[in-house]
Amino acid sequence: MLKQIVFSLALLATLGVFTYSAFRYIRFFRFTKADFRIKDFGRRFGVMFRVAIGQTRIFRFPFAGLLHALVFWGFCVILFGSFEMLIDGLFATEKSLGFLGLIYDVIIGGGDVFALTIAIAILVFLSRRVFLHIKRFEGIEMKHISHLDANIALSLIFLLMISLQGMNIAYLQHQHMVNKAVIGVYPVSSLFTGWIAGWDLASVNILYQTCWWAHILMIFLFVNILPYSKHFHVFMSVPNVFLSRLEPLGKLTNMDEITREVRLMLDPDTAFAGPAEDAHIDRFGVKDAEDVSWKSYFDSLACTECGRCTSVCPANITGKKLSPRKIMMDLRARMKEKGPLMVKNGKSFSDQKSLIRDYISEEELWSCTTCNACSRECPININQPTLILEMRRYLVMEEGSAPGQIKAMFGYIENNGAPWQFSQGDRMLWAKEIEVPVIADLFARGEKPEFLYWVGCSGAFDDRYRKVSRAFAGILNHLKVSYAVLGTEETCSGDPARRAGNEMLYQMQALQNIELFRKYGISKILTTCPHCYNIFKNEYPDLGGHYEVVNYVHFIDDMIDRGSLLTNKAVFGNTRLTYHDPCYLGRANEIYKEPRKILNSLSPTFTEMQRNRSSALCCGGGGAQMFKETEPGKKEIYMERTRDVLMTDAEVVATACPFCMNMITDGIKYKNKQNEVRNMDIAEMIAVSLNL
């Protein structure tokens, strides 16, 4: 009876303190902003089972991933035994779930094996942290307290497993000594009963009770430490995965409040049925904790501080200040600081500090290439670039603060419809020497093409990339595809403005383009630029622009598959090829297979770079970096990527993006390797193989 009373009081205290602690964080959700609506439950459960329960992302770091997965799965199994202990403690029973028979045996047996496995894994984790100084666990955001927190939690888990195993050993020996049947199966503990074979019954009983109480009380303690520790992810990560953003990684959320303004600017008579007229917008973008969406705050609470994101961040790798893990930790810390003040003084309270500048510098924000390597790597589907972009939106739209070259880029888009100082009238100069149909001419003749070939600003103005536009137009002509370009009517898709935080300018561009497409009845768009591809495919639909958007890599691959495009293998022969995955084709839109198939059709000698497909390193040009000086660091991102290229010993590095071409070509030049390795676009390679 005494045991029951003590146990019940301990359980009550645990639940009470935990509820209080969890509430201290949960109450801050009311200060956050709305985000996506939670629907698609089938897909959500699928993601949760794959990513959280199946631990698929964690295996991207194979060794640590396997150990972590074993710990996670082991915990899930052992939880059953903990639940049984709760029942036994409350009702003074023993092995109360033993009536489940075979199921019980399997689960308890599994838990017994996992207890040992987890203990070993924890020892490895602790040794790595204490002795090996893994780079992933370092960084300015990783203070002494972060390491201490991790080590305490790991030690506690180790002791939990030891007490569980001790309890099992004592139970087996006790049953043996009193000649009673054993309930459950204990494949590991049964190997160690010999250790206490000489003990008397009372001592065995004491060992059992000590381990039983130590185990359950440590669970209670652990539960109450978690909300104050990075290990809060034990509770938060599975729900966070369930609440993942389900859209492609390359898609940014639309700012509906801006849409309404822009529509009114473009057409004051518009009867736009967008957000309610009285929708009150406190602030564009994110300046402080109260500006973030509930999802970003959830992400920050779920972050395990594992550093996988930072370890693959091209900005961080090349010595820039940005660390995506720090962005999440900073948001969590800022909410912890400001949340109680808002509870006391209201949401509008100002403590003269903010997330931007007091926690996260502008330099960090302008270092991001929006490559999405971080969000792709995060084992619990946290989306860091969304928050970074929200902060850029604040800087640009509320403060007019951006690097000078970015501001100039905005001006060029506004004035010339391109991110550089080129005249719109020169948009067709790239096509001087070839036959390229212009849509307005076709319309004048009463004709309508099947495809719009969207050339893009680089395709029209960049000297090197114009050759790619010519190559692709040549392929379209060769295939007799029904297509046309917009010619001098084409203007910027708005991508660089949007990635630099200028949502207003992006939407101006996008809505004008959508109107132009409507005028010509365009329903199918072919693009060479992955950034334009991404924005048309994923982001224009939010503004009412729905098209069948086809990337040229897909298109060429399809033509080869159908037998319409017969490449000449002899041209490239045994040329050693490699391929750089553009972030906005790969991670953003999952196009990995097609470019490789095309290259394999050109030469059998294809070598992957060490970092490839979803692990490919960014070239450094995305996220509007192409239009500004890079932030200070130890080296340029494109130099790091060029090193990957050179390590393959390839003679041709194939790219499929104007920014990647620019960056990698520069890298090859700086390394003085132009005579050894050429940078060619996939369209150029096909054109060469066709002798166009």
Q: Which residues bind ligand SF4 (CB under 6 A)?
A: 303-309, 313-315, 322, 324-325, 328, 368-374, 377-378, 380, 382, 384-385
The distance of closest approach from Cβ of residue 364 to ligand SF4 in the complex, given in angstroms and rounded to an integer, is 9
Q: Which of 656, 666, 655 is nearest to 625 (CA)?
A: 666
Q: Is the Cα dihedral 368, 232, 146, 154 positive or negative?
A: negative
List Cα–Cα distances, 430 to 416, 436, 456, 554, 688, in angstroms.
17, 10, 11, 23, 18
Which residue, 47 or 559, is less far from ligand SF4 as judged by CB?
47
Contact predicate 418/524, CB 8 Å: no
Sheet holding 548-551, edge to edge: 483-484, 451-454, 524-527, 548-551
CA–CA dist 572, 689 (Å, integer): 7
Which residue, 163 or 300, is less far from ligand SF4 as judged by CB?
300
Helix (H, G, I), strand (E, B) or coil at 483: strand
The distance of closest approach from Cβ of residue 52 to ligand SF4 in the complex, given in angstroms and rounded to an integer, is 12
The distance of closest approach from Cβ of residue 669 to ligand SF4 in the complex, given in angstroms and rounded to an integer, is 24
Which residue, 455 or 619, is less far from ligand SF4 as judged by CB?
619
Contact predicate 532/459, CB 8 Å: no
Burial class (CB in 10 A: 0-12, 13-18, 19+), 587: buried
CA–CA dist 352, 354 (Å, integer): 7
Helix (H, G, I), strand (E, B) or coil at 250: coil
β-bridge mates for residue 524, sequence order: 548
The distance of closest approach from Cβ of residue 143 to ligand SF4 in the complex, given in angstroms and rounded to an integer, is 14
The distance of closest approach from Cβ of residue 7 to ligand SF4 in the complex, given in angstroms and rounded to an integer, is 35
The distance of closest approach from Cβ of residue 494 to ligand SF4 in the complex, given in angstroms and rounded to an integer, is 19
CA–CA dist 115, 160 (Å, integer): 9
Which residue, 371 or 661, is less far from ligand SF4 as judged by CB?
371
Q: Which of 595, 597, 641, 594 is nearest to 615 (CA)?
A: 641
CA–CA dist 380, 300 (Å, integer): 11
Radius of gyration of the chain (CA): 30
The distance of closest approach from Cβ of residue 367 to ligand SF4 in the complex, given in angstroms and rounded to an integer, is 7
The distance of closest approach from Cβ of residue 516 to ligand SF4 in the complex, given in angstroms and rounded to an integer, is 31
Which residue, 371 or 511, is less far from ligand SF4 as judged by CB?
371
The distance of closest approach from Cβ of residue 499 to ligand SF4 in the complex, given in angstroms and rounded to an integer, is 10
- Report residue 485: phi and psi, to 5°: -110, 165
Which residue, 116 or 315, is less far from ligand SF4 as judged by CB?
315
CA–CA dist 426, 499 (Å, integer): 25
Which residue, 174 or 231, is less far from ligand SF4 as judged by CB?
231
Which residue, 111 or 324, is less far from ligand SF4 as judged by CB?
324
Which residue, 339 or 623, is less far from ligand SF4 as judged by CB?
623
